[in-house]
Structure 1
Amino acid sequence: MPLHFLIRPRPVAALAAASALLLTLSACTPGASTDPDTGSVPSAAAPGLPSSHVHGLSVNRETDQVLLATHEGLFDATRSPATKIGDTNDLMGFTAAADHGVFYASGHPGPGSDLPNPMGLIRSVDGGTTWEQLSRQGESDFHALAATKSGLVAYDGTLQTSPDGKTWSAATAGFVPAVLAGTPEADTVLATTPDGLQRSADGGKTWELISTAPVIQFAAFASGAEVLGVEPDGSVHYSSDGGSTWTRAGRIEDQVQAMTAVAGAEGKPWIWAATTEGLVVSTDAGATFRPAGAA
């Protein structure tokens, strides 16, 4: 069932971006023959990508491992072709914790899986090879999921926070997030919506609209304060203060499906984006991009 959004009056350019974002957002329908996020028939995976749709990205700068969370499960895309990790499950929500190899996910079980549908919140402590059930099994499909310093923020039709992934409390929010972006280094959380960027400074409990921010579709923290955002048209923006103010950096030419960022040298974070044409990377805070793996 599609998610519906109320869009408040904005300048023409912002309304155009919001309309483009609205067209990309919908809830998933297990077993449907069309792509659950666009309503269109899924196309073949882009070159270098293991799936026609990527929902999450994680990069470990110490090992340079690149992980893709997809409809067909988790893949290590550090080398080509990408290598499957663990069972085949539809990972709609995916986020990395502070500790190396620890991930949280949600979605639907794949063929042969003994997990309930929906999967609720699951956790892996071995890099995605195996998963344990934490909470809301058979109840929640968290399409948006983020880790913070104080816990987790997730959306399954209700925006909720949890200190441990087991007990949940409803947050004070009147919006539907497309993406939740957080970092284990801080309690700042961003929520992208067609109506504008929402920001929380208390781990997702309360929120405020950042009226001066661009209409961002994807966002990712590179550190406790540095954030990168991408508009529906591919325009990339950089924030050095946790999403309060933004500066336009560059542009990703192809349609973005998921992104992540890590701290870089001289205040220039690195960005990875899975697009309809493949995986791209920027080493200059989004000013320029090249295919991942290219020299």
Structure 2
Amino acid sequence: MSTLQGTTSLIDPETIDYYYDEETNGFDEPVKQPEPQKNPGQILSAGFIGVGVLSLIVYLFNDHATGSWMGILLSFGLLTIGGIAYHWFSYKNTIPGIKHDGIMFSGSLHRGAIAWALGILFTGFYVVLYWWPEYLDRAIRLVDPLAMAMAGQPANQWFLYGFLYTLAILIFGVRMFMKYRHNRYHQIRTASVMFFQLVLAFIIPQFLRALNEPEFYFTYFWPLKYDVLFPGTVDYLVTSPGALGTFMVFWTMAGSFIAVPVLTYFYGKRWYCSWV
């Protein structure tokens, strides 16, 4: 223990001044362990994913294709089943515990070719979604049957996005359940995220559309959704038929100015980012 400028430090000055660069000193990528052989379940699941991708490509490049339940099942359905099954079979026979070895050297997680390709793909998708949604028309029409069943209206780009986002949360939620099956905290947290996305951020807004009510997302608060308290938005909700619009305004104000500050003060941003 030493004193530095009138304060007591548990670390001596020599240690504080010590400079260590692991890259300069030769700590490169660790020896890569051999990849475990894929089990039959993983192979079968990958087959489902492959057929789903192929079905989606065929549909998107078919000038005469229209939305159908069969199209949804053969594309998104097989992708979902295959993705969930693949994660299940990947972890079910492994020893529970943290498995993060080598992730900083993964091509998909550390500026590798796969990471760059995925980054460009997702960024491009958002650009098209916001500014040129007409180029997504075939994908939007593919999910028309689901939109009609849930909301009684044809799908638009936001329904497609919500649908894809919800599928991603559910598929990778199963992965989280399997990967962290030894940790009750992560299991409950993952279930919470899946519930809020599926019910409050997807099913309920579409149900409101079916009732000709405002398409309201109960998980959005100001400033995350900056225009939710704009005068025009508030007037639109308050003047909507019935008392539901007024409740939506009350919910937004209570969440934005009471719940969010209080929860953030006690739990930090993780209450929303990790649980909602």
Normalising by structure 2, we get a TM-score of: 0.22
Kindly indicate whether structure 1 or structure 2 has the higher relative contact order, using CA contacts under 8 Å at least 6 residues apart.
2
Higher relative helix content: 2
Higher relative strand content: 1
Normalising by structure 1, we get a TM-score of: 0.21
Bigger Rg over Cα? 2
